[in-house]
Structure 1
Amino acid sequence: MARQDAVRCLRCLLYALNLLLWVSRLSMMLLEEAAVRSYSAAVHPVFISVCCLLLILSMVGYCGALRCRLLLLCWYFCSLLVIFCVELASAVWTYDEPSVQRADMISLKSRMPDYSLQRYQWLTHTWDSFQTQFQCCGVIYFTDWLEMTEMEFPPDSCCTNQFPGCAGHAHQHDLSDLHQEGCGPKVYRFIRGTKPLQVLRFLGVSIGVAQILAMALTLTLLWALYYGRHHQQPDAYRTPGPPGDSGSVVATNGTSVGDRVGPRDQRAAEAGLEDLEPPGAAGKGLYGLHHTEPQNLE
């Protein structure tokens, strides 16, 4: 009975944690949409895919706890463990900010040759949004466009006063009409200081703690279900006896709690008692006594 109560309590706690994780991931999706709506095309699909995967994982954990299926719970625990390890590795890797910033700059530069290509329209829109929003050009300096691409002048989104062909006109006549500062440092400072993204980081830490609790509860529930299915024994069992014998009831600790005498044993006992009776005592019953008359000494 106590084990059943413990399993019920663990299932309720796992329901609550999965609901918390589900709501947190929905909140992260909404905040991400609000934070980088106009220039997030490069990150948005990946982020949405990861959140959808985590939502499906929460539903798997809920179904496993509801139906008490060991396979679903094992799959849920292993998936949570893998995701948590990836998150922890990412947090450790991004702890060193200068190295991460250099890697981000290199990554931005490596995508510059794809600008204005037909199949990378989303990247073109992202670069134009960055340069217009932050009033910058290139990654470090506006000459990045000339070094990394085959373009003769930067995009028009680098102009301080934008109009069609403004970048070519500025490149030939007055370079001061182009934004001089690169977009890399500005975008990095924006990502570090935006309030919605700070809330996202807080939610990420909270989800990590909730994942640890969910893994602990899942492992405990797995142990309780496995122990209940494979190690549970009945309170008592009967020992086999000879044919016609009702046997004896033996407790789980191996001690006899009561014997029942079969017909064969009863007949043998009666025969043994008759042999022990003294002569002439048959008329006095099975347990009669043999009385002797006192002798007259006179």
Structure 2
Amino acid sequence: MHPPRQGEPPFSQPWEGRAFALAILSNRASGGNLDSFRHALERLDRAHYIGDGYWGRWLNAGELRLLDSAILAPGAVDARARNLRGEHVEEPPVPEPAKPDYAPTAEGTLRRLDTSPAFAVGEHVRAKDMSPAGHTRLPRYVRGHVGVVDIVQPAGVLPDTNAHFMGENPQYVYSVRFDSHDLWGTDGDAFELTVEMFESYASVIAAHARNRLPNRFGRPESRSPVRAAGPRCSPRPDRPQAPHGVMLPPARAARQCRRARWPRRTRALRRRPRP
């Protein structure tokens, strides 16, 4: 792979351009949309997805869309290809088309919502650990993991329902940043990965779970001084506590609790040597 060179043709071979055009026209003729075409790509078997290359994959997905809408009969393409090679085979009859009853509410995929986004920039969210039977744009490697919202994007058509012609169901989209060590372990390189997630892909993290998020050493660290010191070092109720929201390291929190339990005079007596 290399950046495009000046004057380089968009397709390395003429058949790739024809395959691209046929795939776009097939999806349009079958009454599909962008998400239904992506779902067709996902449903290809290994030979048609990998063996035929990138543009062959597009061509196979376009044929599958025509089969879904009964524009083509099963085996019609193979029979026509054999007849063009000089063989004499019977082609299947043309079926009655069954296009989906679908019409977009507006051009493109962006939509306007009257509600406010559920998440804000800087908020920790957890990608839902789900395994839908149909199409989804949530990558499997982030499911169940925690990320940070970087950008709140405009609302868009939800691919999970739009691919199956079950409504647009527009939702806000969030650019969520994940840590590579959280996704694949600490043996690999350290980098951050940003994933575009629809609102229904994310869930709110409870307050007690936010206090146990991993620190930079990969170990959970409590954000509460009392929890950090442990139940055997809880401070006295008549002693002043740390201000709300102050995050103390566990060692410092433990020292604070010990000082709260034992007044200075008691500590001085404990350190006084015995006669």
- TM class by smaller structure: under 0.3
Q: TM-score if structure 1 supplies the norm length?
A: 0.21
- Structure possessing the higher relative contact order (Cα contacts under 8 Å, 6 or more residues apart): 1
Structure label with greater radius of gyration: 1
Q: Pick the structure with more strand per residue.
A: 2
